[in-house]
Amino acid sequence: MKRKKAYSDAPKGFHFSTAEAAIKKPGRKDLALIYSEVEANISGSFTTNMVKAAPVRIDIRKIKTGRGQAIIMNSGNANACTGRQGVSDANEMAGMVSKGLGIKPSLIYVASTGVIGARMPMERIKPALEELVSGVGDSSFEDVAAAIMTTDTFPKIVRKRIKVGDKIGTIAGICKGAGMICPHMATMLSFILTDIAVEKRTLDKALRTAVKKSFNRLTIDGDMSTNDTVLLMANGILGNPPVTEKDAAYLQFCKVLAELTAELSKMIATDGEGATKFVEIEVRGTRNDHEAERAALAVANSSLVKTAIYGHDANWGRIMAALGYSGVSFREEKVDIFFGKVKIVEKGLASGKDKQAGDVLKEKEVKILIDLHGGKASAKVFTCDLTEDYIRINAEYRT
């Protein structure tokens, strides 16, 4: 198997391939493959939407074994709301890759993103799949990140090193986002690879913890997708004794994984459909994390807050209103709100610093801190502003 030198900073033992199947339209690579030289431990997190795409249903079944060796993915068609035909199409895709690579179908995961409700154009996908299998090693992880883009404007990739005993392992992740993104599902598509050996249950726990504070605290438009999938593969090529929860390396692995997923989440928010800026909403001073998260998400999901940020208008009244309907209990007369370092609300009342706070909103990254002064818990969520371009992109998406 070929392996290009340029890609040597990807985790060891993973190889990549991309091909053009012209699924939605011709002119770009829209099919991609991740292949591990050896069987890997695999953990996953999937949409909690009742309506699950065919590949999600298949992956949820396969992942119970905890083992995987390849992931095949496409953009341009979500293979959702396609009934039995959709499941059969996804299985056929995995089957072709299975034959081509000579590995069991149960080790091959499928992920799709794109339009819902249209049948997969198998007549174009099948020949492209052959090309994909024969080209393993010809593409980089970046190429895969580009192939899964839909309305994303840039490919999203993060790489980190982790010291495990006397060895240096690598963990790298890609994702795609842009729209139909709301927390409390796994979230959009993300594939994270590592050459570090990690015991299966430990891998599950690390992923669950990382997703909770990253992809699940990310909202673009409050719409939860049918296709959200996060897969984390650990192939152990590094040769370390498998990391377990008892090892010192475990905490380090969790920390780095959490940083990686947080960075990917921020990239998704930055690249939200039509977004002009990245917005972080932090709520402090609640009785527990759940309340802080709930209050922060209410603010982050408010169309009125997001349009005000877009318009550089420090309209904090809309934040107060969103907090008020979040379902979290607090005392209005205790609330402080900061835009960057500018205290715009003090004890529930205007500070009069609208001009300075408006200037903060002109930056590309905006941090809004809300202190409810009712406890010691806090949570951060990531989002973006809401602009005319979001409307344009989504009014014209299929046409």
Point out which residues bind its own copies (CB under 8 A).
Answer: 48-52, 78, 80-83, 115-118, 179-180, 182, 185, 221-226, 301-304, 307-308, 310-311, 313, 315-318, 320-325, 329-330, 332-333, 345, 348-350, 386-388, 390-392, 394-399
Output the smallest distance, CB 66 to its own copies, in A. 27
Instruction: Establish whether 187 is a catalytic residue.
Output: yes
- Give dist(CA 329, CA 313) in Å, integer: 27
Output the smallest distance, CB 30 to its own copies, in A. 18
Output the smallest distance, CB 342 to its own copies, in A. 15
- Give dist(CA 244, CA 312) in Å, integer: 48
CB 257 within 8 A of CB 172: no
Q: How many helices (H) and strands (E) does the chain have?
A: 11, 14
Q: How many CB atoms lie within 10 A of CB 92?
A: 15
Amino acid making up residue 137 = G
Q: Which C-beta is closer to its own copies: that of 245 or that of 332?
A: 332
Q: How far is CA 391 from CA 54, 121, 269, 300, 397, in A?
A: 28, 28, 16, 18, 10
Indicate the helix (H) or strand (E) that contains 72: strand 67-77
Output the smallest distance, CB 391 to its own copies, in A. 5
Q: Which C-beta is closer to its own copies: that of 97 or that of 185?
A: 185
Distance of CA 172 to the CA centre of its chain: 13
Output the smallest distance, CB 203 to its own copies, in A. 27
Place of tokens 């997708």: 225
Q: Which C-beta is closer to its own copies: that of 79 or that of 139?
A: 79
Which candidate, 270, 276, 298, places its Cα nearest to that of 379? 298
Q: What does the chain come to in residues?
A: 399
Distance of CA 240 to the CA centre of its chain: 28
Which candidate, 243, 304, 272, places its Cα nearest to that of 175? 272
Q: Which C-beta is closer to its own copies: that of 80 or that of 108?
A: 80
- Residue 188, token pair as written in the block: 């959009």
Output the smallest distance, CB 348 to its own copies, in A. 6
Q: Which C-beta is closer to its own copies: that of 149 or that of 345?
A: 345
DSSP secondary-structure letter at 243? B
Output the smallest distance, CB 399 to its own copies, in A. 6
Catalytic-labelled residue, pool 170, 187, 261, 270:
187
- Residue 255, token pair as written in the block: 């920390």
Q: Which C-beta is closer to its own copies: that of 13 or that of 177?
A: 177
Strand ranges in 327-393 using DSSP code E only, listed in sequence order = 336-339, 342-346, 349-350, 365-371, 377-384
- Give dist(CA 58, CA 204) in Å, integer: 18
Place of tokens 């997923």: 261
71 CB-contact burial (10 Å; exposed 0-12 / middle 13-18 / buried 19+): buried
Task: Looking at 191-310, list the stretches that DSSP marks H as alpha helix, in order from N- to C-terminal side.
Answer: 200-212, 248-270, 289-301, 303-310
Q: Which C-beta is closer to its own copies: that of 117 or that of 127?
A: 117
Output the smallest distance, CB 43 to its own copies, in A. 23
Q: Which C-beta is closer to its own copies: that of 15 or that of 24?
A: 24
Q: Could you list the active site residues? A: 187
